[in-house]
């Protein structure tokens, strides 16, 4: 074996021995249910690990409506090229205009995925004379975007607004620009960022800009479903307002809403936009359909809030700390082993909820993570509450 083959084998062995080996689960899908083999019996469970927060991805009625409304001849399963070559279709422009208008912003741009968005925008907009100030817990795609950029970077303690202010005070004279980067709902604890606090800092320092990833909030929060920025009334104040289309919006890809010049600049400088095949027009048509209807799904958003409050209350009633302010809810277990055994019990009770282990989270912060969705029924949420009651 050569050096690389050797290293691959050695590291796989280590992962295997330490219980850290990842594998792609063998699962079946049936609407909001997942099935896997438990003790050799095919078992159906409610999927509490998906990002389909509004239940749109499993709603056949909505998909039928879309299929009825669209002209099959117009749409293709491949764009066959980058947007900048021949991969642009009129449906792209129509969808981006609609997204921009829905947010009341000048412009929008669609990307192949959230990963491509975050790894592409940050290196494009920053340089050596820029400081990126990023939350300690931002998503891997943002961390990779920072690594690909030439900017200086400081990671601040999770949602520590005083620390942000102190760093800005210290650096705003020594650097040309500061970009504060955060998510609006964090994926591990489901806690919500105070965007208004960040806007206040931005307004005191003209060289500060805000970059917010609403991956877990778009569709779910705000009266129109436009995320935490809408809920906290600061859509206009966020320079790079980003989100993904593959979670609550049940499509694929990602978007930024921003000024016209930022959009134009990204088209010219963002490598993960330029050097990749554009998403198929059919996906863009579906995204457009979803944005056309997003404001109508308030009943789903309210339902999700109600379900989330029930689970958070249940966990807190057992004296377990839960800082979630959303539909993403951790149940702290304290160790990998405990997280795995809790997940095992949950699955036997009919709930597909997965353990989040070290090294994804620090030691001592291992947990189960519930990702709720609006299609969970009354009897299902009652059973979920009583199962939590039993296992704690
Ligand atoms: C899921 C997620 C992404 C990645 O989006 P994809 O479209 O799945 O690539 C980026 N940022 C955050 C915060 C996410 O949760």
Q: Which positions ≥6 away from 208 have C-beta within 8 Å?
A: 168, 172, 177, 178, 179, 180, 201, 202
Of 301, 219, 260, give the one whose Cα is nearest residue 97.
Answer: 260
How does DSSP assign 188-230, residue by residue?
Answer: TT-PBP-HHHHHHHHHH-TTEEEEEE-TTTTTTSSTTS--HHH
pLDDT on residue 73: 67
Ligand 1 atom closest to the CA of 141, numbered from 1: 10
Q: What is the pLDDT of residue 359?
A: 85
**Which of the listed residues 251, 254, 356 should we mutate to test ligand 1's pocket, taking the one with most ligand atoms within 8 A of CB?**
254
In this structure, are residues 312 and 324 in contact, taking their beta carbons and an 8 Å threshold?
Answer: yes
Is the C-beta atom of 287 inside 6 A of ligand 1?
no
Q: What is the pLDDT of residues 24-51, one digit of tens each?
A: 999 999 999 999 998 999 999 999 999 9
> 141: Cβ below 6 Å to ligand 1?
yes
Q: Is the pLDDT of residue 74 over 80?
A: no
Pairing of strands 130-135, 152-156: parallel
- What is the signed CA dihedral for 283, 285, 290, 293, rounded to 10 degrees? -170
CA of residue 184 to ligand 1 center, whole Å = 12
- For the Cβ of 387 lying below 6 angstroms from any atom of ligand 1, the answer is no
Find out whether the beta carbon of 212 lies less than 6 Å from any atom of ligand 1. no
What distance in Å separates the CA atoms of residue 251 and residue 37, rounded to the nearest whole number?
A: 28
Give the pLDDT of residue 76. Answer: 85
Give the closest residue (by CA) to ligand 1 atom 8: 114
- What's the CA gap between 249 and 255, in Å, rounded? 12
Query: Which atom of ligand 1 is the closest one to the Cα of 138?
Result: 13
CA distance linking residue 370 with residue 359, whole number of Å = 19
Neighbours of 128 (CB within 10 A): 10
Nearest one of 176, 179, 180 to 129, comparing CA atoms: 176
| Averaged pLDDT score across all residues of the chain | 96
pLDDT at position 70, please? 81
Q: What is the CA(277)–ligand 1 centre distance, in A? A: 19
The pLDDT of residue 18 is above 90:
no
Alpha-carbon distance of 153 to 270, in angstroms, equals: 19
Q: In what order do the strands lie in the sheet with 328-332?
A: 328-332, 367-371, 354-356
| Six token digits for residue 11 | 């590291």
Q: Determine phi and psi for 321, rounding to 5 degrees.
A: -65, 135
List, in order, residues 6 or more apart from 87 with CB less than 8 Å away. 79, 80, 81, 277, 278
pLDDT of res. 231: 98
CA dihedral 22, 23, 24, 26 (to 10 degrees): -130
Q: Closest ligand 1 atom to the C-alpha of 246?
A: 7
- On whether the pTM is more than 0.85, the answer is yes
How many residues does this entry show for the chain?
A: 392
With a 6 Å cutoff on the Cβ, whether 115 touches ligand 1 is: yes
pLDDT tens, residue by residue, 221-252: 999 999 999 999 999 999 999 999 999 999 99
> In whole angstroms, what is the distance from residue 72 CA to residue 50 CA?
29
Question: In angstroms, how far is CA 15 from the centroid of its own chain?
Answer: 27
| Best of 49, 110, 139 for a ligand 1 pocket test (most atoms within 8 Å of beta carbon) | 139
């Amino acid at each position: 074996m050569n050096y690389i083959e050797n290293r691959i084998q050695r590291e796989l062995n280590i992962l295997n021995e330490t219980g850290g080996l990842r594998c792609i689960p063998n699962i079946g899908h049936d609407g909001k249910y997942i099935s896997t083999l438990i003790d050799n019996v095919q078992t159906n469970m409610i999927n509490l690990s998906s990002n389909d927060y509004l239940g749109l991805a499993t709603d056949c009625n909505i998909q039928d409506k879309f299929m009825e409304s669209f002209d099959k001849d117009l749409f293709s399963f491949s764009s066959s090229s980058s947007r900048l070559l021949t991969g642009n279709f009129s449906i792209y422009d129509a969808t981006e205009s609609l997204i921009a208008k829905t947010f009341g912003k000048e412009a929008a741009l669609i990307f192949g995925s959230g990963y491509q968005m975050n790894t592409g925008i940050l290196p494009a907009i920053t340089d050596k004379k820029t400081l990126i100030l990023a939350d300690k817990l931002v998503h891997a795609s943002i961390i990779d975007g920072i690594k690909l950029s030439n900017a200086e970077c400081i990671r601040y303690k999770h949602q520590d607004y005083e620390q942000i202010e102190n760093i800005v005070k210290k650096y705003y004279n020594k650097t040309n620009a500061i970009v504060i980067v955060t998510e609006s709902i964090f994926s591990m604890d489901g806690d919500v960022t105070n965007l208004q606090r960040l806007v206040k800092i931005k307004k005191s320092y003209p060289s500060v800009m805000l970059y917010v990833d609403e991956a877990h909030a778009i569709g779910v929060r705000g009266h129109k479903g436009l995320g935490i920025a809408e809920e906290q009334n600061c859509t206009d104040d966020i320079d790079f307002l980003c989100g993904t289309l593959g979670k609550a919006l049940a499509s694929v890809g990602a978007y930024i809403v921003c000024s016209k010049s930022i959009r134009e600049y990204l088209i010219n400088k963002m490598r993960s936009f330029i050097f990749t095949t554009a998403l198929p027009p059919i996906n863009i048509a579906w995204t457009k359909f979803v944005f056309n209807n997003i404001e109508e799904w308030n009943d789903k958003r309210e339902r999700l809030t109600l379900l989330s409050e029930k689970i958070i209350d249940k966990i807190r009633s057992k004296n377990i700390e839960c800082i979630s302010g959303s539909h993403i809810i951790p149940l702290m277990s304290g160790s990998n082993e405990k997280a795995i055994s809790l997940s095992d019990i949950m699955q036997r009770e009919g709930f597909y909820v997965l353990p989040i282990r070290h090294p994804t989270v620090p030691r001592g912060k291992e947990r189960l993570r519930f990702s709720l969705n609006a299609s969970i029924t009354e009897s299902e949420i009652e059973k979920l509450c009583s199962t939590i009651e039993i296992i704690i």
